[in-house]
Structure 1
Amino acid sequence: MERISNYQIAVMIILFQIGSTPLFAIGSKAKQDSWVAMIVAAIIGLVLLRMFLYIQSIAPDQSLIVLMRICFGKIAGGLLSCCFLIYFAYESMRNVRDFGEITNVTLLTRTPKFVVMLLVIVLAAYMIIMGIETFCRVAESLILPVLFSYGVLCLLIFGSKLVNIERIQPIMEKGFKPILQAAFPDLVSFPFGQMVVFLMFWHLMSDSKKLKRISVLTYLGVAVFLVGMNMINVLVLGPSLIGNSTLPFLQTVQLIQVADIFERLDVFVTLLLFLGLFVKLAAFFWAAAYGFSQLTGCRAKLSICFVGAVIFASSFLEPNYTYHIWLGLAVSVKLFPIFQILLPLAMFVAILLRKLKKNPPSEDTQA
């Protein structure tokens, strides 16, 4: 069995969690408090992460598919595993569609989007067929350019004197309720709750003893970064403009002008968007294909080809990009907690009940 090093799993968590999140107007319902909503969502996500890690700890060398069978039995566990695979494939499909639509709008305006989407799904399939180690090495090669690019863009934003601290004031003007409504379920579902997919990756770690420490510390670092990026968007554009923007960070970067040299840097934002989307769609693709292979006993390459074909075909079911965005931000995020919260919580309860049956309280304890 292929293994993932501690550094590789940390890199995977960083790139997966960052993904395309800093580029979108998430949490805009809370207006100038969107960054506070992000903090609240990150705290809820941390609780979920701890629950995921506890579930993984009962069988450190097993994936989510086996863990479901342990918790719910062979039949019920198998059926619920199928539901998870559909969820993973759907998440991958959404990223494939995003990739095609945004490429068609920003870079390759004359290229049919189905060509771009076909190329990206074939590229992801090829990488996955080569093995999880290849996937992780690709992620390792991307981590420094991604972090460096975000760092440079943030410095240039502050260097252009675009930041206005008054745009995040007054803080909590309308109380905590709007913040909580923005945080749950939307921000919890995307991106923090998506960490559930790592129940398909963690069992491949070469050193499972450091799993909790690495995962939690990496998660906290990314959460701080995402809160900071959200705040930058608000400080530059203001809550009103963000609420009407599809890609606020792209608009922010378009405003950069430093010494008449550094300007029109939106191409870097587009490339960051593509890298983030690719890592995320490939991670969900791999989880769906690997899980399908485990569940059915099908050969890995056949599973990858079959799941890839399903993802590609289903990415055309939505009639247009407006409908795609509406379905994702208004409908899907309301359903994702079923897989990110309810089912993992049911697993958590099942594990506790099993432990209580095996180790009932002694008479001395009851007394």
Structure 2
Amino acid sequence: MERISNYQIAVLIILFQIGSTPLFAIGNKAKQDSWIAMLLAAAVGLLLLRMFLYIQSIAPDQSLIALMRICFGKVAGGIISSCFIIYFAYESMRNVRDFGEITSVTLLARTPKFIIMLLVILLAAYTILLGIETLCRVVESLIIPVLFSYGVLSLLIVVSKLINFERIQPVMEKGFLPIIKAALPDLVSFPFGQMVVFLMFWHLMDDNKKVKRISIFSYLGVAFFLIAMNMINVLVLGPALIGNSTLPFLQTVQLIQVGEIFERLDVFVTLLLFLGLFVKLTAFFWAASFGLTQLIGSSTNSKLPVCLVGIVIFISSFLEPNYTYHIWLGLTFSVKLYPIFQVLFPLAMFIAILLRKLKKDSPPSEEAPTLDMSAK
């Protein structure tokens, strides 16, 4: 089985969590307090991450599919695993649709969307067929350009004197309730709760003993970065303008003007958006394909699961009639269902593990089945 290094899993977590998140108007229900809502959601996401890591610790060399069977048995575990595969494929589909729509609007207005979406699906499928190590090497090559670009753009925003701290005042004007409503479940579901997908990746690490420390530090770094980017959008545009914007960071960057030299830098934002979307859709695509491979007992190198999942993702990406409906469905409806996979099922696994451990540790009055950590 292929293995990935500690550095590669850290880089994958960072770019996966960043994705396209800094570019969208998330948490705007809390208006100028959206950064506080992000902070609250990140804290809840950290608790979820600790729970995911505990679940992984019971069988460090097993993926989510095997962990499901350990916790719920072969039949129930298989059914729930099938639901997770559909969830991963759906998440990938949403990113494919985002990729096609935004490319059509910003760069290739005359190119049919289905051509753009077909190309990105084929590219992602090719990367997956080459193996998880190839995917991780691609992510390794992208981490420096992505972080450098965000850093330069943030610096230019400050130099352009676009920051106005009055736009985040008054703090908590309407109390803490609007912040809670903005954070739960929407901001927890996207992006922080999506860390559940790494239950498909962690078992591939070279050194499983460091998975907890690496994952938590990577998560915290990304969380503070996303909070900072959210605050920058509010400080530049203000809550009212962000509420009416699809891509507020793009509007923010369009305002940059330094010495009539650095301006019209929105092309960099577009490229960052493409890179983030590609990493995220490929990670979910890989998780769905690998999960299907394990579920049906196919060969690890089989191309059939990748092809099947890719076809389903591509076809389903056209089911939504337009991009407005796509955004509405994702940010108002889908985020309400994501906790089923990000909270409910993992919590059930966590409780099942605790109950079985308590049963195992209690004085045996009769012979009882124990938790088999080697289940496949």
The residue that corresponds to 1:365 in the other structure is none
The residue that corresponds to 1:310 in the other structure is 312
* Counterpart residue identity of residue 261, structure 2: I
The residue that corresponds to 1:351 in the other structure is 353
How far, CA to CA, are the matches of 1:132 and 1:50 in structure 2? 24
How far, CA to CA, are the matches of 1:307 and 1:179 in structure 2? 37
TM-score (norm 1): 0.98
Q: CA deviation at 1:286?
A: 0.1
Q: Deviations over 1:230-286 (max 9, x none)?
A: 000000000000000000000000000000000000000000000000000000000
How far, CA to CA, are the matches of 1:307 and 1:91 in structure 2? 12
Matched, 1:297 2:300: no
1:4-15 correspondence runs (5 A): 4-15=4-15
The residue that corresponds to 1:207 in the other structure is 207
* Counterpart residue identity of residue 67, structure 2: L
Secondary structure at 2:309 match in 1: helix
* Counterpart residue identity of residue 275, structure 1: L
Unpaired stretches in structure 2, ≥5 consecutive residues:
365-376
Secondary structure at 2:245 match in 1: coil
* Counterpart residue identity of residue 138, structure 2: V
Matched, 1:323 2:325: yes
Aligned-residue Cα RMSD (Å) equals 1.0
The residue that corresponds to 2:267 in the other structure is 267
Q: CA deviation at 1:301?
A: 1.0
How far, CA to CA, are the matches of 2:169 and 2:268 in structure 1? 30
The residue that corresponds to 2:372 in the other structure is none
The residue that corresponds to 1:53 in the other structure is 53
Cα distance, 1:253–1:309 mapped onto 2, change above 3 Å: same
How far, CA to CA, are the matches of 1:219 and 1:327 in structure 2? 27
Matched, 1:341 2:364: no
* Counterpart residue identity of residue 53, structure 1: L
- Give runs of ≥4 in structure 1 deviating > 4 Å: none
How far, CA to CA, are the matches of 1:187 and 1:361 in structure 2? 44
How far, CA to CA, are the matches of 2:287 and 2:218 in structure 1? 20
The residue that corresponds to 2:374 in the other structure is none
Q: CA deviation at 1:298?
A: 2.7
The residue that corresponds to 2:161 in the other structure is 161
How far, CA to CA, are the matches of 2:205 and 2:94 in structure 1? 28
The residue that corresponds to 2:233 in the other structure is 233
* Counterpart residue identity of residue 337, structure 1: P
Secondary structure at 2:303 match in 1: helix
How far, CA to CA, are the matches of 1:89 and 1:132 in structure 2? 17
Secondary structure at 1:162 match in 2: coil
* Counterpart residue identity of residue 320, structure 2: E
How far, CA to CA, are the matches of 1:43 and 1:330 in structure 2? 22
Q: CA deviation at 1:361?
A: 6.8
Matched, 1:88 2:102: no
TM-score (norm 2): 0.96
Q: CA deviation at 1:142?
A: 0.2
Identical columns (%): 81
How far, CA to CA, are the matches of 1:138 and 1:301 in structure 2? 20
1:65-144 correspondence runs (5 A): 65-144=65-144
Q: CA deviation at 1:297?
A: 1.7
How far, CA to CA, are the matches of 1:219 and 1:261 in structure 2? 36
* Counterpart residue identity of residue 307, structure 2: C
How far, CA to CA, are the matches of 1:6 and 1:292 in structure 2? 25
What is the aligned residue count?
363
Unpaired stretches in structure 1, ≥5 consecutive residues:
363-367
The residue that corresponds to 2:369 in the other structure is none
